[in-house]
Amino acid sequence: MGTVVVLVIGAFLTYIASPLARNRVPSEFNESRQLAASVAQNIVGMLSETSANLSKIQELEQQQKGYRALDIVAGEIEKNKNISDQASQLALHLEIMAKQIPGISPDYAAQTALVAISSETALINQLLVYNNNLNNLLLLLRDRYMHGGVSLEQINSVVDEINQRMESINSLNTQFVQLMESFDTYYRE
């Protein structure tokens, strides 16, 4: 029995002295990370649908079926309210993650987590600009069909800007996923 106790104490002291003992990730960080990843994936999925609808809008514009295009944009703005709600949820999860960074060790893993959180925060900023651009598109389409004077080039320019924002959002989300995969490698044996 004494030998077992000595072995257990020896194993415990060896573990404490090893680098594995210093590898810590707070459970709140992991929980918020999973929720943030899920919300971000939902946002990216909704934006993919919007991208397809923007192509439809441009086609309808070229076919001079602007009122149908206006209906699609109105639907997209309604969907953007959901995206805005999801962005708020994402921000809350990222805040929880950020507050847990001091509890992460080793430090280089904490730094990787911080960079990942920063990329998702930038994604939220891109979403704000994206939403403004979508609202501008609706106003342009309304003006075009109610008052004239708005050119197809102006509309296409806003659609192009929206598409650029979507690409940026997708890229930032991919960066977050890759950084968190890198973060995970610090804890694999």
**β-sheet bridge partners, residue 24:** 105
Q: Which domains does the chain have, with CATH numbers?
A: 25-185 (1.20.120)
- Could you give the CA distance from residue 118 to residue 184 in angstroms, rounded to a whole number? 17
Tokens describing residue 86 = 């999801």
pLDDT in tens, the chain (189 residues): 545 434 434 433 343 334 444 578 999 999 999 999 999 999 989 988 888 888 888 888 788 887 788 788 888 878 888 888 999 999 999 999 999 999 999 999 999 999 999 999 999 999 999 989 988 888 888 888 778 788 888 988 998 999 899 999 999 999 999 999 999 998 875
- Could you give the CA distance from residue 7 to residue 5 in angstroms, rounded to a whole number? 5
Place of tokens 């950084």: 179
The one-character DSSP state at 187 is: T
